[in-house]
């Protein structure tokens, strides 16, 4: 979600025991790809615990972002690349505050949101 207009900040909440958490913590960067409505099957790859899916990008075409080197979903509507500028760790998640250092738009479309998937977020 958006955290600030100036500087441009986004908030990324990540489960503390996930592989993604370790990668973000160690690298200090992350990227978020914005999927299109109708791309629920791609989102499902990233919604599953990593222990069930060894490589979440295995069946998803991606490329590495120029600013962060993080994977970006090629068929996404667009993306942001961020450097971590703050964290808040409470409960079973860490809130990573990321300053947007790169962004791109692949195409126009309606964004996939949690409500349209019919899923409930369970961490």
- Domains of the chain, residue spans: 2-110
For residues 39 and 107, the answer to whether their CB atoms sit within 8 Å is no
Residues in a beta bridge with 18 = none
For the cut 90, the answer to whether the pLDDT of residue 117 exceeds it is no
Mean residue pLDDT across the chain: 90
pTM greater than 0.75 (yes/no): yes
pLDDT per residue over 22-59, tens digit each?
999 999 999 999 999 999 989 888 776 655 445 778 78
CA 27 vs CA 4, 22, 119: distances in Å: 22, 8, 30
Residues in a beta bridge with 33 = 79
CATH match for 2-110 among 3.20.20.100, 2.30.110.10, 3.40.50.300, 2.60.40.650: 2.30.110.10
**Percent over 70 (pLDDT), the chain:** 92
For residues 76 and 36, the answer to whether their CB atoms sit within 8 Å is yes
For residues 4 and 82, the answer to whether their CB atoms sit within 8 Å is no
For the cut 70, the answer to whether the pLDDT of residue 97 exceeds it is yes
Cα–Cα distance measured from residue 15 to residue 122, given in angstroms and rounded to the nearest whole number? 10
pLDDT at position 29: 98
């Amino acid at each position: 979600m958006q955290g600030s207009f100036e500087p441009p900040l986004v908030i990324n909440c990540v489960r503390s025991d996930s592989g993604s958490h370790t990668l973000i913590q160690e690298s200090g960067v992350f990227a978020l790809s914005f999927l299109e409505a109708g791309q629920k099957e791609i989102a499902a790859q990233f919604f599953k615990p990593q222990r069930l899916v060894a490589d979440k990008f295995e069946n998803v075409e991606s490329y590495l972002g120029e600013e962060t080197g993080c994977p970006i979903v090629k068929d996404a509507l667009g993306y942001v690349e961020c450097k971590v500028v703050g964290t808040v760790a409470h409960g079973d998640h860490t809130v990573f505050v990321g300053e947007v250092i790169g962004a791109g738009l692949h195409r126009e479309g309606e964004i996939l949101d949690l409500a349209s998937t019919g899923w409930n977020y369970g961490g």
